[in-house]
Amino acid sequence: MRYIPNTPGEQSQMLAVIGARSIEDLLARVPPKARLARPLALGGALAEMDLIRAMRALAAENADADAYTCFLGAGAYDHYVPSPINHLISRGEFFTAYTPYQPEASQGTLRTIYEYQTMIAELTGMDVANASIYDGGSALAEAVLMAHAVTGRGEVLLADGVNPLHRRVAATYAEGPGVRLRQVPAPDGVLDLDATRRLCGGSTAALAIQTPNFYGCLEDVAAAAEVAHGAGALLIVAADPVNLGVLEAPGRQGADIAVGEGQALGVPMSFGGPSLGVFAAREELVRRMPGRLVGATVDRDGRRGFVLTLQTREQHIRRAKATSNICTNVALCALMGTIYLAIVGRQGLARVGELSTAKAHYAAERLTAIPGVSLRFAAPFFKEFTLRLPKPPERVVARLLRQRILGGVPLKRFERRLGDCLLVAVTEKRTREEIDVLAQALGKAVA
């Protein structure tokens, strides 16, 4: 356990060590305009019942996916979470488990992680998957660093269709080792292959794409693999694993590293996290993989067991030699994904994908029948699509919100050229009636 000094004397001693006289000295670099110049508007102490009532009233002000009809996407999706998941992960042996450093005392946790890795490897079509990384953004960033380490090259191409939030995480990671990131345009909603060929050369460590991409469009993974491998670079493919019950696995289309956001695998959106980072690769790259890897072995009596293996993290070896400084894994979220896949099975996962794409195409047909509303891109899409609206999307979604509809994500905050666009996601949870209500409400909002 870590001891946190909390007495005034202990805090003064700590401040003295770093040359500060008070807490105010520590805050001196925070600009005045960013600091609150008045006391917090908090009332007095409340009785427990009154406090719970007040907190429930505050929570009711949130527009959550249980009380509103949700068409939000852009990386987090309102897929159905089977009820057994919450019951199972709430068991004490799972809920309180942390890093399985001692295999003799952690066989259950190690076994569940091993099962998770096996399922992810099968879904992505890769040889090996690791224990979970924080989220989709950090998974992409780790793939960028891994490609740099494997090839010795200093540049990575990122397709415009990769989630812009994940690209920002990758840029933060790449700054330390000095990896140069270059964006490849997607003017028609998918990777510009001609531009990619011109940019991909001898200094390129990897090309990173996403499919379905941030705009909802399906990328040509095989064509991207041909371009990357022709230049001696690796291909990184970001994919939502819940879609892989229907879509072809990245590994079978030429990907060298497969990453993704696994939140859709039974993990609630939870107002933004925690979520689940998926990471898988070809076997020849396994020694450069970040994070943890659980392997199956036998003990001296020949009984099957599970252990952490290839632990090339900064907690186990010298930092300069480590593959990554990922210090933990979100094993509880990985367990949710494992239970989800075990419950829905192969046919159930395919059914989730089929329903999502069928309902998304029905929604696109209904919404584009509204005068002035059209699809922004002509490329095929899966469960998410980009609409062009005749009125500012920010105003439209605000109006839909008053009708208890989370209508989509305006894209202006991500890309100026898409300032008139709205990203709409449709999962298997949405009904025909909900889609029809959205179409009716959107029609009035843009009239």
Residues 242 and 266: their CA atoms lie apart, in Å, by 9
Query: Mean per-residue pLDDT for 163-174?
Result: 96
Query: Mean per-residue pLDDT for 73-77?
Result: 95
Please tell me which residue, 11 or 92, carries the higher pLDDT value.
92
Per-residue pLDDT at 1: 42
Query: Mean per-residue pLDDT for 310-332?
Result: 71
Cα 166–262–86 angle (5° rounding)? 135
Query: Mean per-residue pLDDT for 215-227?
Result: 97
Lowest mean pLDDT among 213-217, 274-278, 316-320: 316-320
Chain mean pLDDT for the chain:
92
| In the predicted structure, residue 2 carries a pLDDT above the cut 60 | no
| In the predicted structure, residue 166 carries a pLDDT above the cut 80 | yes
| In the predicted structure, residue 438 carries a pLDDT above the cut 80 | yes
Per-residue pLDDT at 17: 84
Q: For 36-61, what is each residue's pLDDT tens digit? A: 888 888 888 999 999 999 999 999 89
Per-residue pLDDT at 318: 66
Lowest mean pLDDT among 76-80, 128-132, 141-145: 128-132
User: Beta-carbon neighbour count of residue 404 at 10 Å?
Assistant: 12
Per-residue pLDDT at 317: 65
| In the predicted structure, residue 414 carries a pLDDT above the cut 70 | yes
Cα 342–343–346 angle (5° rounding)? 65
Domains 69-81+345-446 and 83-338 share a fold: no
For the record, the structure tokens of 23 come out as 């807490």
Q: For 76-94, what is each residue's pLDDT tens digit? A: 999 999 999 999 999 888 8
Query: Mean per-residue pLDDT for 276-289?
Result: 94
Per-residue pLDDT at 257: 98
Q: For 295-311, what is each residue's pLDDT tens digit? A: 999 989 999 999 988 77
| Closest residue by Cα to residue 337 from 430, 437, 265 | 265
Query: Mean per-residue pLDDT for 310-327?
Result: 68
Omega into 371 within 30° of 0, i.e. cis?
no
C-beta separation of 178 from 350 below 8 A: no
Query: Mean per-residue pLDDT for 217-239?
Result: 98
Per-residue pLDDT at 143: 97
Per-residue pLDDT at 38: 87
Beta strand 277-281 with 257-261 is: antiparallel
> 83-338: which CATH number, 3.30.420.40, 3.20.20.80, 3.40.640.10, 3.40.50.150?
3.40.640.10
The DSSP secondary structure of 332-347, one letter per residue, reads: HHHHHHHHHHHHHHHH
| In the predicted structure, residue 5 carries a pLDDT above the cut 60 | no
Domain range annotation of the chain: 69-81+345-446, 83-338
Fold of 69-81+345-446: Aspartate Aminotransferase, domain 1 (3.90.1150)
How large a percentage of the chain has pLDDT more than 90? 74
| In the predicted structure, residue 173 carries a pLDDT above the cut 70 | yes
The DSSP secondary structure of 273-308, one letter per residue, reads: ----EEEEE-GGGGGG--S-EEEEEE-TTS-EEEEE
| In the predicted structure, residue 6 carries a pLDDT above the cut 70 | no
Please tell me which residue, 427 or 319, carries the higher pLDDT value.
427
pLDDT confidence bin for 28, thresholds 50/70/90: confident
